Structure 1
């Protein structure tokens, strides 16, 4: 089966939507939107097939174009991007993949975006104890060439109960543990784009494997899944 590609028409539609972000214009161009949305959905489905060859994927979620404006100062009714995410299957496989298509702002992301309080504490406790393994993984040359540095929101000094002078405070104070890879429009439109995205997702596995082990064991390394 041939792989899908992202076309210039889809990026052009999103640019037009950004300039005409109102319900009347969108209603007039609903048919075109559906075609563009389908193109991206097919791309994500092909990407999921690739992911399934080297990871266990539970499901693909494609996000709706409609914005929830109830509690936002921005009342524009539509997002100006198309996006989807892939959930890993099973309790032992932690982490997830995200895909974001936007003219001039496309990117993929992966890692731990909003870990719940128990997972966040477990990660911090692990890094308080030792960061040797995780630093080896995220500083490996091939990994770093693809994903760059670990990013994410963090507290200003130290989380409650942790020492701000800890040698590993740079990792302990994070609230998110994610990696982001940006793409130009030219890269997005390349026939090889799906391969580049899949290879980047594949490269994250050592990080996922280590973090999954951390999150499914206690500080003594004993499994929490039994």
Structure 2
């Protein structure tokens, strides 16, 4: 199923225009239905282990209004799974693209309030996050915590010489595991996706505790 979708994505990459896509739309429609079944299967399996708020399957159509790249179609399939707010935080994501497939999750774009709370937590204490990110399962699946830096030195109000400044200056806190095409095509792929998602849970649960308490550790809800 995924293999057929990859062949279509490769063709889109070579023919990223509306004329070609219109001619091949019937084939795309059948692939979409297969993708929906696959993504919903992951969603159902993940619901057995977590409380999810929704599933979002991303459309292939690009919003090119503010993009220099005017190619109208994405060259990947993706789906996101949100945990049930406000008590559970973090989101799961699966990205299927020839030569660039991965499973990831975390806090891609926390709002200003959440970002400040996370930074203050790391300013006070990094013992728990360091324990989580050095755990052998975390390292096996993700290597290290990732995410773009929000500033070059330190956010306003934080000391640039703080021992945890590399964590504090991030604007994202995410994890990611890459898969080769052959791994995606294998019979074990769904099992590996689930194992990867479950390996995120200690990180998600800790961050949920942070984001649902104040700086004194008192519950907000």
Paired residue secondary structure (1:87): strand
* TM-superposition CA deviations, 1:159-182 (whole Å, max 9, x none): 111001001111101100000111
- Give the secondary structure class of the aligned counterpart of 2:157: coil
- Measure the CA separation in 2 of the matches of 1:16 and 1:113: 30
Equivalent of residue 72 in structure 2, options 74, 77, 86: 77
SS in structure 1 of the partner of residue 92 of structure 2: strand
- Please say if 1:220 is aligned against 2:213: no
**TM-score, length basis structure 1:** 0.96
2:185 pairs with one of 185, 189, 193: 189
In the superposition, the TM-score normalised over structure 2's length comes to 0.98
Q: How many residues align?
A: 220
Pairs within 5 Å for 1:29-178: 29-154=24-149, 155-178=151-174
Distance in 2 of aligned mates of 1:72 and 1:173 = 27
Q: Determine helix, strand or coil for the equivalent of 1:179.
A: strand
Unaligned segments of structure 2, at least 5 residues: none
Structure 1 counterpart SS, 2:4 = helix
Q: Is the 8 A contact 1:37 1:82 kept in 2?
A: no
Deviating above 2 A after TM superposition, structure 1's stretches of 4 or more consecutive aligned residues are none
Cα offset, 1:7, TM superposition: 3.0
* In 2: Cα distance, 1:90 partner to 1:110 partner: 16
Using the alignment, how far apart are the partners of 1:34 and 1:136 within structure 2? 46
Aligned to 1:3: none
- For structure 1, list consecutive stretches of 5 or more residues without a partner in the other structure: 1-5
Shift of 1:90: 2.9
Match of 2:201 in 1: 205
Distance across 1 between alignment mates of 2:2 and 2:39: 14
Superposed CA offset, 1:179-225 (max 9, x none): 01111000000111011001110111111110000000011110011
3-state DSSP class of the match of 1:32? helix
SS at match of 1:119: helix
Per-residue Cα deviation, 1:1-48 (whole angstroms, up to 9, x for no partner): xxxxx4321111100010000001000100111111111111110101
The question of whether the paired residues in 2 share the 8 Å contact of 1:101 and 1:107 is answered with yes
